[in-house]
Structure formats: structure tokens, C-alpha cells
A = this chain, B = another copy of it.
Amino acid sequence: MDYKIKEIANSICQISNHALEEIENLLRPKTIGKGTVFIREGQGIQLEYFLLEGICKSYLISPEGEEVTISFFTSKSILSPYTTRVNNQRSLLNFRALTDVHLASMDAAAFEQLMIENLEIRNFGNVVLRKELALKVDKEIGLAALTAKERLLAFRERYPSLENQIPHTDIASYLGITNVSLSRLRKDLSR
């Protein structure tokens, strides 16, 4: 199937071709247009996703009704499955395509069964989960202990070039500031 799947999987951890094939057998490609919300909070879902091409964000609606960006996903990554499928298969988050997006989806229950049967795939799933948690802890400490300027610099390190590809409003809410403040910081850092 798609060579990109192998690339994504190996960016997570080493995995044999055999195990990879088992995963690939479950995958179905899917294309989604820019701006589309393809997972909704509270929605019953039973799919896991590989992001082959494009950019997405996960987000929640704040008490004030604004979209708060939780994470960004760039080409060749995995759309954090456990965060997505928490609570009896109901998603905790919304996902929106920020560009045209090419996905490969698979049935979550079938993948879970694979994890039980196959030690290698179980390990793979666990590593995905652990990396996701590590990112969350990083973001948490960033929001709690760094200034907005430092958070912007950290964002640029982690997502080089994203700043020029997506609306700044989305980045600002990821950083926990307003888009006006983001604009100020950008100006400040450019001198």
C-alpha cells in the first residue's frame, strides 16, 4: 500500500514488514477538503487515522464559544487515537482540516484486536500513546511556566513553517493568547 504508512510507522518506532502489513490491511484512504470538520466532540467514532498529507488541528469550544486549538498535526503523523476515542468511543475533541487533507482510516476495534494478538503491534500502539502523553506534558509545562514569547519560540521549533501555512488565530489559541498579542510578539521577535 502507501509507502507513507511505513514512513509514519517507523517515525514512531521500528516495526516489521509483517506487522505493518497487518495494519495496512485495515486502512482505507480518504480525502477531505480544507476547512472540513471531520471528527466532532461527542460524536460516536470508531476509526483511527493516519495523516498522509496536509495539516489538521484538534480543538474544543471554550465557555466563551471560541475554538481553542489543542494540537496541530502535520503531514505523516497519527491523529492521537486515544484522545480521540476516549469515553466509550465518543470523541473528546473536534478535528478540522486546515488544508486539503489525505487520510487513511482504520477500524479502531479491529486495531485493538490486533494489539491483543500481536506483541509488536501492541508495543507500537503503546509507543504512540506514550509519545502523545509526553507531548501533552510538554505543552502543559509550557502553558504553566513559560511566557507567551517563549511559547511562541517553542512552537516555531516544534512546527517549523507552520506559522506561514495556517491562520494565526489558530496558533494564538494554541499558545493561549489572542491573535492581537501574537501579532505583537511576531513584530517584537522580528527585530
Question: Which A residues form the contact surface with B (CB < 8 A)?
Answer: 60, 62-64, 66, 68-70, 82-83, 86-87, 92-93, 116, 122, 129-130, 133-134, 136-137, 139-141, 143-146, 173-176
Contacts and interface: CB of A to CB of B under 8 A. Distances in A.
Nearest to A144: B176
A137 B92 contact: yes
Given A60-B137, A130-B87, A134-B87, A145 B82 contact: no
Task: List 6 tightest A-B contacts by C-beta distance, closest first.
Answer: A62-B145, A143-B143, A144-B176, A86-B130, A68-B145, A136-B136
A34 B3 CA distance: 54
A19 to B, nearest CB: 17
B62 A133 contact: no
Contacts of A92: 133-134, 137
A174 B176 CA distance: 16
A63 B144 contact: no
A143 B60 contact: no
Contacts of A86: 130, 133-134
Contact of A176 (B66, B129, B143): B143
A140 B141 contact: no
22 contacts: A60-B137, A62-B146, A64-B145, A66-B145, A68-B141, A68-B144, A69-B144, A70-B140, A82-B129, A82-B130, A82-B133, A83-B137, A87-B130, A93-B137, A116-B116, A129-B129, A136-B136, A140-B140, A143-B143, A144-B173, A145-B173, A145-B176
A144 B174 contact: yes
B143 A144 contact: yes
A41 to B, nearest CB: 10
